[in-house]
Structure 1
């Protein structure tokens, strides 16, 4: 049952920047690590966890919420067969 929800979310965000961002953010960190000097490579984990991951998570959540609120007006959430308090 959960797999159907994951596939539905995947279809909903099919041609959006959200799917690109999921691949792009870790790739940018890997590029920073690859092209940087040795001392910077040791600190690249700090770049991901301190700056890039919170920004990535915030931007992804905002884009998903904007997509649900903008075009769909929460129709997919409102039609779920569960109580609205549980959602």
Structure 2
């Protein structure tokens, strides 16, 4: 947390406030579509300018991943797919 002195020496813009608020909402687990509505965006895609996952959030997401249960089969294209690709 920054002290009051450190804050007085920084330039804080409306963009900074919006970005910080959006990040706080994201870190608390809020859905991106709700954040987009809160920011007044037409689409959640617009909110990605303000909201980016930080390192702690990425680590948390990676921790939820699991190893695949077994050996994954190798993809084998069907004869019809190979015939189609040859026509391209």
TM (norm. structure 2) is 0.26
Q: Which has the higher helix share?
A: 1
